[in-house]
Amino acid sequence: MEITRAYIEAAEEGYRLSAGFSFELNHGLEDAIQSGVPLHFTTEISFTRPRWYWFDEKAVTAKRTYKLWYDVFLRQYHVTIIGSVQQTFSTLEDALFFIRRPTRWVVAPRGALKAGEVYNVTLRMGMDRDYLPKPIQVNAFNNSEWRLSSNKKTFQYRAE
């Protein structure tokens, strides 16, 4: 999994993350989806402000999880942003596109960051194996085919 683009935009409602991810499901994960096993993908972001006299100040941390599953009877793929919206897709590729190119997510409310200050933004995304059913978790933690995550991407953002 790779983070292809990531930047922060200031908007009226707060600070939004615009990001893109690149990944493919291997054969084992596709089979799991087709068998009705839901997969969860979690995006984590944090804003820290460097300080010379102590540890960096953690200003904001946010997490968003996408649940992807296949309905065998309706032959449709579903993606739910946990705690938010759900969408239905006719193909796995369309559902994955929705996860790879998320809508601009408000990661911090207006005023959470000090205007003019520079923050280090750390972003990462990966398949969250903690959500898998317990019998599958044992196999997933010991099998490299079930590991899908990006490296951390760090960039700077000057708050507006």
**What residues contact 128, with CB distance under 8 A and at least 6 apart?**
40, 41, 42, 65
Question: What is the tens place of the pLDDT at every residue in 26-69?
Answer: 888 888 888 888 999 999 999 998 877 777 778 889 999 999 99
Is 116 a residue whose pLDDT tops 80?
Answer: yes
The answer to whether residue 156 is domain-embedded is no
Q: Domain tally for the chain?
A: 1
Averaged confidence pLDDT in the chain: 85
The answer to whether residue 106 is domain-embedded is yes
The answer to whether residue 148 is domain-embedded is no
- Can you give the pTM of this predicted structure? 0.83
The answer to whether residue 15 is domain-embedded is yes
**Could you tell me the residue range of the domain that residue 31 belongs to?**
2-143
The answer to whether residue 91 is domain-embedded is yes
The answer to whether residue 133 is domain-embedded is yes
The answer to whether residue 7 is domain-embedded is yes
* Across 99-118, average pLDDT: 86
Q: Would residue 34 be called left, alpha or beta, if left means φ above 0 and alpha means ψ between -120 and 50 degrees? A: alpha
* Across 1-9, average pLDDT: 89
Three-class HEC string of 112-141: CCCCCCEEEEEEEEEECHHHCCHHHHHHHH
Q: Find residue 121's DSSP bridge partners.
A: 47, 155
The answer to whether residue 50 is domain-embedded is yes
Selected residue with higher pLDDT from 22 and 103: 22
